[in-house]
Amino acid sequence: MKFIISSSELLRNLQILGSILNTNNTLPILDNFLFDIKESDLTITSSDLETSLSSKILIESSINVKIAVPAKLLIDILKSLPDQPLTFSMNDNILEINSNNGKYALSYMDGDEFPKSLIIEDAKEISFSSKVLLNVINSTIFASGNDDLRPVMSGVFFQVSNDKSCFVATDAHKLVKYVRNDINSDNAIEFIVPNKPLNILKSILPDKKEDVRVLYNNTNAIFSFSTFTMICRLIDGKFPNYEAVIPKENPNVLEIDRLQLLNSTKRASIFSSKTTNQVKFEIKGNLLKISAEDLDFNNKAEETLECNYNGDDIAIGFNSRFIVEMLNNLSSEIVQIELSSPNRAGLISPLHEKDSNEEITMLVMPIMLN
């Protein structure tokens, strides 16, 4: 029993599928890729029980077989080979790989031991263009948490209605609300997708131009596009009421060049306390003074930037890492910062959206000044 496949195409797919694998799996079979061969179609699957990812590749073959192949060993040998056709032969639980210059043998397991793919019953469906879904992920995922005690925050909340869609992520210190007017559904949709499958989608989607079809029910979702199918378990629980934490009355409004603010905050943060990463924003008239101080080592920094400001003089402290993350994930030239008082959250948003169908609001909690 044998099949022939391009080494570069196989490696490219396995490196994507390998992002699912954990280093310490509870089941030894999960250290393997499942090769499901049905004549000229090879479907390769990786899984960690919560998420599974499959890719379909055309091969030269006339066999029907399922085998589980050691993932790390196979990727390592493929990395060291130049691009060429490889012939895989199977006999007595040994998989032999024949290249132009040599042959390599590794043992495989019975593919029937691999966890079966989930079948989603009573599924509903929605579609996203790959570009829009990538924007959703890039705009929100950095704000999600990774606290095991608050699992509902370790993902992105998808909320679609008949007039718009809203995607929210928060870790209780920062929050991003990303709204699109061009995605809607007659059925109200609400589910939370974990960070891991979203990060995997983020790595695959930039190369794809077609729509992503999403089938979902109360517990699982399937994302299918191009030659890939990803099945993931959704996060069970109720997402926090994000609208309640977004301050509505913000009389102090600052407009400033995004890159200037980003670079000044980065420089100031070098001199901030390594425990709080605090930077202080002092706004008077049309000047923003950014300062940071590390009292333990007597380090301090101060920069002044010009801005457009309408409001009362204010001094407020923020975690510089959060400000840098948010500004890095916006693309507009000018950003708007809305403030109410030194102990209430600030809102950051792009002043002019590049895409008229999207609206981004970022919330960052303040740090009390000494």
Would you give per-residue pLDDT tens digits along the chain (370 residues)?
899 999 999 999 999 999 999 988 889 999 999 999 999 999 999 999 999 999 999 999 988 999 999 999 999 999 999 999 999 999 999 999 999 989 999 999 999 999 998 888 888 899 999 999 999 999 999 999 998 889 999 999 999 988 889 999 999 999 999 999 988 888 889 999 999 999 999 999 987 788 999 999 999 999 999 999 999 999 999 999 999 999 999 999 999 999 999 999 999 999 999 999 999 999 999 999 999 999 889 999 999 999 999 999 999 999 999 999 999 999 999 999 999 999 999 999 999 767 778 999 999 999 998 6
Domain 124-243 matching CATH 3.30.450.20: the answer reads no
Q: Do domains 2-113 and 124-243 have the same CATH topology?
A: yes
Per-residue pLDDT at 190: 94
- 2-113 has which fold? DNA Polymerase III; Chain A, domain 2 (3.10.150)
> Amino acid identity of 309?
Y
Answer whether 169's CB lies under 8 Å from 143's CB.
yes
> Amino acid identity of 112?
D
Q: Give the class (CATH, top level) of 246-364.
A: alpha beta
C-alpha–C-alpha distance, residues 321 and 6, integer Å: 44
Per-residue pLDDT at 8: 96
The 10 Å Cβ neighbour count of residue 177 is: 24
Per-residue pLDDT at 209: 82
Per-residue pLDDT at 38: 95
pTM given for the model: 0.92
Per-residue pLDDT at 307: 97
Q: Which residues contact 76 (CB under 8 A, 6 or more apart)?
A: none
Tokens 């991003």 belong to which residue? 176
What is the side-by-side strand order in the sheet with 252-257?
189-194, 155-160, 165-170, 174-180, 358-364, 346-350, 334-339, 252-257, 308-310
Q: Two tokens at 365? A: 């909690």
Going from N- to C-terminal start, the domains of the chain cover 2-113, 124-243, 246-364
Per-residue pLDDT at 172: 94
Sign of the alpha-carbon torsion through 196, 199, 203, 209: positive
C-alpha–C-alpha distance, residues 312 and 253, integer Å: 9
